[in-house]
């Protein structure tokens, strides 16, 4: 029997805090994470899961995903590592997955914040990554098992959503992990560019938070609300030509190769 996904903010806070959370904290968290709105949308979506769930979210939110470069997608038998810029947050995952779906006959796995494990409909697609503190040996083993599998992997090397800079909105420097993993597990890299942006308020908040020297990433709390702002919009996903894992030789460090692939993505 299919189960409709449901967000339970109070239950998640209780589990993480290991005690009953303060009522005001629950109320504020429910506002930031638009619990009621999300749960109503999940009822509309129904009990589908995996990539079908992602497609249904796009449909229910009336989002148009325009895909360019489909001809660059290799055959489904190839083990690939899709690397994407990260302009929006959760909608990046949904739109990119929708774009590459035909190449994912053996499944698609995505390293993601462990908070997203509450989304039961896509839980099996996620490799939970704890954004705070170190990773356990068990988690690292799961990550390596995913890369060693026949499933495709999707990765967002920036590690956080794009911010507004003097010359535009783009990711900060990319982490080198995907280069090392591509070589270790012999996966060709497929660069993907996602053209979209969050609301001006998101970028203003990030700017002032930085100016005030506040290290806590306050604007991240708004990312779920930003999903609602993408309703009725168009997101353009451009797929680039695959880069052989053998390209990443000793002529550059993994970090340097990561920035080169980042540049390739933005050149798309």
- 87-98 tens-digit pLDDT: 998 899 999 999
- What confidence score (pLDDT) does residue 1 get? 44
- What confidence score (pLDDT) does residue 182 get? 96
Which is more confident, 85 or 207? 85
Query: In this structure, what token pair is assigned to residue 21?
Result: 């959370």
Q: Which residues pair with 253 in a beta bridge?
A: none
- What confidence score (pLDDT) does residue 76 get? 66
CA nearest to 76, candidates 178, 152, 181, 182? 152
- 196-240 tens-digit pLDDT: 999 888 888 888 888 888 777 777 778 888 888 899 999 999 999
Name the CA radius of gyration of the chain, rounded. 19
Do the beta carbons of residue 169 and residue 197 sit within 8 Å?
yes
For residue 135, pLDDT over 60 is answered with no
DSSP E strand boundaries for the chain: 64-68, 80-84, 108-113, 126-129, 152-155, 163-165, 168-170, 188-195, 234-239
In terms of Cβ atoms closer than 10 Å to its own Cβ (0-12, 13-18, 19+), residue 231 is: exposed
- 152-189 tens-digit pLDDT: 999 999 988 999 988 899 999 999 999 999 999 999 99
**149, containing H or E segment:** none
CA nearest to 152, candidates 42, 78, 61, 67? 78
Instruction: Output helix, strand, coil percentages for the chain, rounded to the nearest 5.
Output: 50, 15, 35
Confidence of residue 128 (pLDDT cuts 50, 70, 90): confident
Do the beta carbons of residue 183 and residue 245 sit within 8 Å?
yes
CATH-assigned architecture of domain 51-267 = 3-Layer(aba) Sandwich (3.40)
Query: How far is the C-alpha of 114 from the C-alpha of 187, rounded, in Å?
Result: 24
- 42-84 tens-digit pLDDT: 899 888 889 999 999 999 999 999 999 999 998 767 899 999 9
Helix 9-17 / helix 23-32 crossing angle, nearest 10 deg: 120
For the chain, the straight-line distance linking the first and the last C-alpha, in angstroms and rounded, comes to: 43
Q: How far is CA 103 from CA 28, 225, 244, in A?
A: 41, 31, 17
Question: Is the full-model pTM beyond 0.85?
Answer: yes
Q: How far is CA 24 from CA 27, 28, 112, 174, in A?
A: 5, 6, 28, 37
Do the beta carbons of residue 203 and residue 65 sit within 8 Å?
no
Confidence of residue 30 (pLDDT cuts 50, 70, 90): confident
Confidence of residue 130 (pLDDT cuts 50, 70, 90): low
Do the beta carbons of residue 76 and residue 102 sit within 8 Å?
yes
Which is more confident, 17 or 82? 82
Q: Give residue limits of the domains in the chain.
A: 1-47, 51-267
């Amino acid at each position: 029997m299919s189960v409709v996904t449901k967000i339970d903010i109070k239950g998640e806070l209780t589990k993480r805090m290991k005690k009953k959370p303060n009522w005001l904290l629950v109320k504020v968290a429910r506002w930031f994470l638009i619990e009621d709105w999300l749960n109503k949308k999940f009822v509309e979506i129904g009990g589908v899961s995996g990539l079908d769930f992602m497609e249904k979210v796009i449909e229910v939110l009336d989002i148009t995903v325009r895909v360019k470069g489909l001809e660059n997608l290799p055959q489904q038998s190839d083990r690939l590592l899709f690397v994407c810029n990260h302009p929006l947050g959760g909608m990046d995952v949904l739109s990119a997955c929708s774009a590459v779906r035909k190449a994912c006959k053996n499944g698609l796995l995505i390293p993601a914040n462990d908070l997203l494990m509450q989304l039961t409909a896509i839980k099996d697609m996620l490799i939970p990554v704890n954004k705070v503190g170190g990773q356990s040996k068990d988690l690292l083993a799961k990550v390596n098992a995913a890369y060693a599998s026949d499933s495709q992997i999707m990765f967002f090397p920036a590690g956080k959503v794009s911010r507004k800079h003097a010359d535009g909105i783009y990711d900060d420097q990319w982490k080198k992990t995907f280069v090392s993993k591509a070589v270790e597990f012999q996966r060709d890299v497929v660069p993907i560019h996602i053209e979209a942006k969050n609301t001006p308020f998101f970028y203003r908040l990030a700017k002032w938070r930085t100016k005030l020297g506040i290290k806590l990433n306050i604007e991240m709390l708004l990312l779920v609300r930003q999903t609602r702002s993408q309703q009725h919009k168009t997101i353009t996903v451009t797929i680039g030509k695959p880069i052989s894992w053998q390209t990443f030789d000793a002529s550059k460090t993994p970090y340097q190769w990561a920035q080169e692939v980042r540049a390739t993505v933005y050149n798309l």
